[in-house]
Amino acid sequence: MSEAQYDLVIIGSGPAGESAAMNAAKAGKKVAVVDLRHLVGGNCTHQGTIPSKALRHAVNQVMQFNRSPMFRHISEQKWLSYSQVRESAHRVIDKQVSMRARFYSRNGVDLYYGVASFIDPHTIKVDRSDDQADILSAHEIIVATGSRPYRPPEVDFSHPRLFDSDTILDSSETPRHLVIYGAGVIGSEYASIFNGLGCKVDLINPGDRLLAFMDDEISDGLSYHLRGHGVLVRHNEEFVSVDGFDDHIVLTLASGKKIKADAFMWANGRSGNTDKLNMPAAGLTANRRGQLEVDEFYRTSVPHIYAVGDVIGWPSLASAAYDQGRSASGVIVDNNTYRHINDVPTGIYTIPEISSVGKTERELTQAKVPYEVGKAYFKDTARAQITGEDVGMLKLLFHRDTLELLGIHCFGDQAAEILHIGQAIMAQKNGGNNIQYFIEHTFNYPTMAEAYRVAALNGLNRIF
């Protein structure tokens, strides 16, 4: 058993833990990071954002090939298996791990691998796989352990045909018919992925619309697109049970429906990874979802223990987690890197993808804000016609009187990239946030960015 003293110990090496460690190390602090795996990157790299988005990209490339008339001159349509597209994800994961390991090495951050748990509020025990343990003491501690799929006890996830969003990554089979329960971000993304592989997909939604937190028109666009490609979306359905057999599964819903398929994926809810931390020893208590409550500076109820990333809940995005980790360590080292995080952009990597920042029409209407709408349909832009990616639109919400941008919503190819142009304008102060920017500046032609000029003109024509 070894013992070591640090200024800061961080539990978790995902985006939140990594950014916290780099920021503190550059400020001259002695930092250690603990992770359950023997590879850095956390759930984001190994089971969440990176593998699912790599899968999505590979599938989208196959779909682009299959719908391109040009490629029909050299080949018939092609279909890849799930195991084949997984190979591209593994290649990306390996590159990410190698790159991130260099970050820790260059900045002198010590890495420990094993199960971390509190001995007391300032001491962490790391149980290693070789039955040895390390004892780490620290002035401050950051919990960045992330989250995992919620698993209802009535579902037997040991069955080879029953999956969650982590275990589906280990599957080597391409099901002919997949049922997904949960139509949030993860469920919708995997519905797109498997539908793109030629699978029959049933997407079961406990609510009354897909991605209910998104702008209604964008949500409706995704629903229409998925249905148009053969995904069967069932709203307002409550889970009762799922039974796994040798060659199929049967899902039973409260409405009386029974759905037979090849495989089942649970994608409804996530839990914070706090159950192994022995939190009572540190004076901490998680909520019923395994999450830790924090103040605006990411402090828990124990002032020298901070929590960041998915383990604190909303917004549960890798991008926000990175900012939260940097901000929390900025509070600790007092180097002016803390910032209050709001207006976080949302990127949803369905096919096509969705991205959004700011207010929705529903929110502005309820708040009685006098807004107007500007739209640009991708099918009318030269770049989308050239690339063949003409599904979707850019939608700008702006104040009728001040012309201030209030919300940006995009559905279509490269939506998550396109959004950041508008986000940069929304962040301007002293009158800089103004929809007039898009018609007073010249955009490269043909580009997808030009959609901002089209949408701005469309919106201004409604009020002038």
Spans of all domains in the chain: 2-149+271-333, 162-268, 352-460
Burial class (CB in 10 A: 0-12, 13-18, 19+), 339: exposed
Cα torsion angle, 149, 209, 354, 412, sign: positive
Q: What pLDDT score was predicted for residue 79?
A: 78
Residue 43 tokens read as: 């759930």
- Residues (pLDDT < 70) of the chain are none
Rounded to an integer, what distance in angstroms lies between the CA atom of residue 427 and that of residue 87?
39
Rounded to an integer, what distance in angstroms lies between the CA atom of residue 346 and that of residue 419?
9
Residue 281 tokens read as: 């020893």
Helices 82-106 and 15-26: angle between axes, nearest 10 degrees? 20
Q: What pLDDT score was predicted for residue 66?
A: 81
Is residue 356 a contact partner of residue 410, using CB atoms and an 8 Å limit?
Answer: yes
Q: What is the three-class DSSP state of 272?
A: strand
Q: What pLDDT score was predicted for residue 377?
A: 97
Q: Do domains 2-149+271-333 and 162-268 have the same CATH topology?
A: yes
Q: Which of 225, 231, 226, 159 is nearest to 200 (CA)?
A: 231
For 205-245, list the strands marked E by DSSP: 232-234, 239-244
Q: What pLDDT score was predicted for residue 76?
A: 77
Rounded to an integer, what distance in angstroms lies between the CA atom of residue 359 and that of residue 38?
41
Rounded to an integer, what distance in angstroms lies between the CA atom of residue 411 and that of residue 95?
29
pTM of the model: 0.93
The four Cα atoms 382, 388, 389, 390 give a dihedral, to 10 degrees, of 60
Helices 451-460 and 415-426: angle between axes, nearest 10 degrees? 60
Q: What pLDDT score was predicted for residue 344?
A: 92
Domain 352-460 is found in CATH 3.40.50.2000? no
Residue 376 makes CB contacts below 8 A (sequence gap 6+) with 393, 394, 451, 452, 454, 455, 458
CATH topology of domain 2-149+271-333: FAD/NAD(P)-binding domain (3.50.50)
Report the run of H or E that residue 185 belongs to, with start and end: helix 185-196
Rg for the chain (alpha carbons), in Å?
Answer: 24
How many angstroms from the chain centroid is the CA of residue 414? Answer: 16
CATH code: domain 162-268 is 3.50.50.60
Residue 155 makes CB contacts below 8 A (sequence gap 6+) with 162, 242, 266
Q: What pLDDT score was predicted for residue 251?
A: 98
Contacts of 74-78 with C-beta under 8 Å, sequence gap 24+, read none
Residue 439 makes CB contacts below 8 A (sequence gap 6+) with 453, 456, 457, 460
